[in-house]
Amino acid sequence: MRISEVSRLTGASAKAIRLYEARGLLPPVPRVNRYRDYSEQDVAWVQLIRQALALGITLAAISRLQASDGRLDWPAVLALLDQQRKHIAGERARLEQVDLALQQVSDELRQWLRSGSGDCVVAASGCATGV
């Protein structure tokens, strides 16, 4: 099948598919009359690559998942998924801290607005009343 069909089936642009091929993420694609002739297996690879990208896994990391024979190194896949989950857990904790800080600032501002104590002058210690 031609690249336009692979693109339609996978949602990947033709440019992205060519990039995957250039990076060695797809096995060499045979040509018929100067056109690449993609197989169902190529479609499956492109779908797998797109799924990995959607999970936040980089192309470089994906390329390390292939064994020398072109097959997936499944233990490496599992290790990468575990690593990605740890990264997400850390990011979740960081975002929770950001959310708490935002809530604190919001609460302080609401309290200041309710007090009606005048204009706010921004200072390092927070909102101070007028000048």
Determine the pLDDT at residue 18.
94
7: pLDDT confidence band, cut at 50, 70 and 90? very high
Q: How far is CA 65 from the centre of its chain?
A: 17
Determine the pLDDT at residue 20.
94
131: pLDDT confidence band, cut at 50, 70 and 90? very low
Rounded to an integer, the average pLDDT of 71-85 is 91
Global pTM reads 0.71
Q: How far apart are CA 28 and CA 22, in angstroms?
A: 9
Using one digit for the tens of pLDDT, what is the confidence trace for 14-54?
Answer: 999 999 999 988 888 889 888 999 999 999 999 999 999 99
Q: How far is CA 51 from the centre of its chain?
A: 10
Rounded to an integer, the average pLDDT of 113-121 is 74
Determine the pLDDT at residue 2.
94
Output the CA torsion 60→61→62→67 (10° steps).
100
Decide if pLDDT at 121 tops 70: no
Rounded CA Rg of the chain = 26
Q: How far apart are CA 98 and CA 49, in angstroms?
A: 32
Residue 11 makes CB contacts below 8 A (sequence gap 6+) with 50
